[in-house]
Structure 1
Amino acid sequence: MAHPRHGRIVDVLCADGSMSVDVLAERLGVTPQTVRRDLRTLTRDGSVTRTRGIAMATACVGTTVASRRDTDALTSACRTEQHLCEIAAWQVPHGSTVLLGSGAVAEGIGAALARRGGVRVVTSSLKVAMSLSIAARDVEDTRADIEVIVAGGVVRPSDSALFGTHIRAFLTDYRADIAIVGVDGVGADGGMLIGDLDCAAVLRMIIEVAREVWLVADSARFSNVRGFTMVGQIGRMARVYTNAPLPASIAEICDGRAIEVSVAVPMSEEA
């Protein structure tokens, strides 16, 4: 790591797990172009993994063999999830109002929408709103316009998610064209689960008020079901984006409800 900033980048990524180029640039007080140059260097020496605008540290101080395996699995899952987010975001019709909650899928969709523009985004996450605003500001093509509306509520310091009664009242005033959501797991009965009690009520409201809801979920969400709070049924979805054929029980539900299921071709490693 020739430059002191390189060590700072690795420290930040080790602490946060992953971060977009634009958010990392804001954190360090440098331009996104500078961060991209630094990340290319760190990627070559194996300190950082990059995928679809997201950077993750792979060489944290004190990393054990077991935790490195966990990091490799997380990196692979991150690549898959980001790939699915890219596919879903680029299928949003121009001029749509898109409703996003908080979490990795919301952040991935937000990053992809910022690159294509032409939409209005309503979000319950300050982190999503800020990354959208920064990315949109850096897009030179004036056609890539994007409007960001932030729902009001109580801010959770750990991830800048918004929740509470105020946000529920706010969301009732909107009828977004599309809500794009992620969950922790989908049970065999089609029940969609998350493990975040604070955000569960917000996600239920998002699913309720949107005209159409799309689910982005990699295959692990169906095979290794996590979460304990029900936020809705997969039968409410209009589209499902995943990376492997759905389990038989879920596929039957989707067929019966005429839900469009997109199974992504596995994404090759970045050059």
Structure 2
Amino acid sequence: MLASQRRSVILELVQESGAVKVSDLVERLGVSDMTIRRDIERLSGDGLLERVHGGALALDGTRSSDEPGFSAKSRLQLAQKLAIGRAAARHVEAGSSIGISAGTTTYELARAVKDVPDLTVVTNSVPVAQLLHDSGTPGQTVVLTGGVRTPSDALVGPVAVAALRSLHVDILFLGAHGVEGRTGLTTPNLVEAETNRALVESARRVCLLADSSKWGTVGLSTFADLADVDLFVTDAAFPERAREAVREMVGSLEIAEA
């Protein structure tokens, strides 16, 4: 298959499903990981799709935000997110209060704890709030912050921040667009960064949920340092060198097996 034909197939798959993973394209097209990444980079440079770590996303037609939609992001690194969510759920106790930030990995944590009774959940995620509301678990209370809704279905801005400043949770389960030793936890959305800072300040303990593809990614705005994290749950593909660096900065590193 010629390079131009291969790129046409990639673009068609992205447009059909909204998102594709590099690993799936490697298997389907029978070429190397590096070849697929170069193809995605070329298509991204031509303005035909959005390149993200681990794959590619379809464009929304307006490109008004650098933040991909919740549905598209949820298809990437799904096995890792499931494993991370289940591992983190073991730290949730009945009768406790927890915070859950917006994100597709934190959504899997919410799915894993939806049947925990007498749980109070504070969240700025519309999908998380809907999931927990629909579960109907006895004694479970969901507090949804107000705010302006982003493409990733997070509620952000002054209303969300004001609500969070009056709340206190036992443990916060926090997602991030990117994680890096020097820049810490980052997001491309400045307003979401401010809301995430308020979430961190509301928590006695902070648990970061981030799959291995997030390591080395740096968004526009830092909202927390790695030193602010008490527990970091990631997947088995997290680089060994990075594990050593993280262990020096966070309280505990936990590897979730998919």
TM range (shorter): 0.5 to 0.7
Aligned to 1:196: 189
Per-residue deviation, 1:190: 5.6
2:189, 2:183 → 1: CA distance? Answer: 19
Once the two structures are superposed, residues 182-235 of structure 1 have per-residue CA deviations (whole angstroms, 9 ceiling, x without a partner) of 11222232611112223111111111221100001111211x414221011111
SS in 1 for 2:192: helix
Contact 1:190 1:235 in 2 (8 A): no
Contact 1:190 1:253 in 2 (8 A): no
What are the equivalent positions in structure 2 for 1:98-113 lying under 5 Å apart?
98-113=98-113
The range that moved more, 246-255 or 100-109, is 246-255
1:146 aligns with 2:140: yes
2:103, 2:256 → 1: CA distance? Answer: 21
1:16, 1:113 → 2: CA distance? Answer: 28
**Alignment partner for residue 200 of structure 2, among 186, 195, 207?**
207
Aligned to 2:232: 240
Aligned to 1:216: 209
Per-residue deviation, 1:75: 4.9
**Alignment partner for residue 180 of structure 1, among 169, 173, 178?**
173
2:214, 2:204 → 1: CA distance? Answer: 24
Aligned to 2:95: 95
2:74, 2:198 → 1: CA distance? Answer: 29
Aligned to 1:162: 155
Aligned to 1:225: 217
Q: Which sections of structure 1, spanning at least 5 residues, go unmatched? A: 1-13, 19-68
Once the two structures are superposed, residues 224-261 of structure 1 have per-residue CA deviations (whole angstroms, 9 ceiling, x without a partner) of 4142210111111110101135554663453355x111
Which structure's relative contact order is higher, taking Cα pairs within 8 Å and 6+ residues apart?
Answer: 2
SS in 2 for 1:116: coil
**Alignment partner for residue 263 of structure 1, among 234, 255, 258?**
255
1:118, 1:16 → 2: CA distance? Answer: 37
1:210, 1:242 → 2: CA distance? Answer: 20
Per-residue deviation, 1:15: 6.8
Contact 1:101 1:202 in 2 (8 A): no
Does the C-alpha gap of structure 1 residues 190 and 96 become closer, same or farther in structure 2, counting only changes over 3 Å? farther
Once the two structures are superposed, residues 16-44 of structure 1 have per-residue CA deviations (whole angstroms, 9 ceiling, x without a partner) of 769xxxxxxxxxxxxxxxxxxxxxxxxxx
1:168, 1:74 → 2: CA distance? Answer: 25
Per-residue deviation, 1:162: 1.2
Does the C-alpha gap of structure 1 residues 16 and 198 become closer, same or farther in structure 2, counting only changes over 3 Å? farther
TM value normalised by structure 2: 0.66
Aligned to 1:254: 247
**AA at the equivalent of 2:200:** I
Aligned to 2:47: none
Does the C-alpha gap of structure 1 residues 247 and 186 become closer, same or farther in structure 2, counting only changes over 3 Å? farther
TM value normalised by structure 1: 0.63
2:91, 2:229 → 1: CA distance? Answer: 15
1:146, 1:15 → 2: CA distance? Answer: 34
Does the C-alpha gap of structure 1 residues 196 and 181 become closer, same or farther in structure 2, counting only changes over 3 Å? same
2:212, 2:130 → 1: CA distance? Answer: 29
Does the C-alpha gap of structure 1 residues 201 and 247 become closer, same or farther in structure 2, counting only changes over 3 Å? farther
**AA at the equivalent of 2:98:** V
Once the two structures are superposed, residues 27-65 of structure 1 have per-residue CA deviations (whole angstroms, 9 ceiling, x without a partner) of xxxxxxxxxxxxxxxxxxxxxxxxxxxxxxxxxxxxxxx
Give the number of equivalent residue pairs.
Answer: 195
**AA at the equivalent of 2:144:** V
Contact 1:178 1:214 in 2 (8 A): yes
1:79, 1:246 → 2: CA distance? Answer: 17
**AA at the equivalent of 1:243:** D
Contact 1:192 1:232 in 2 (8 A): yes
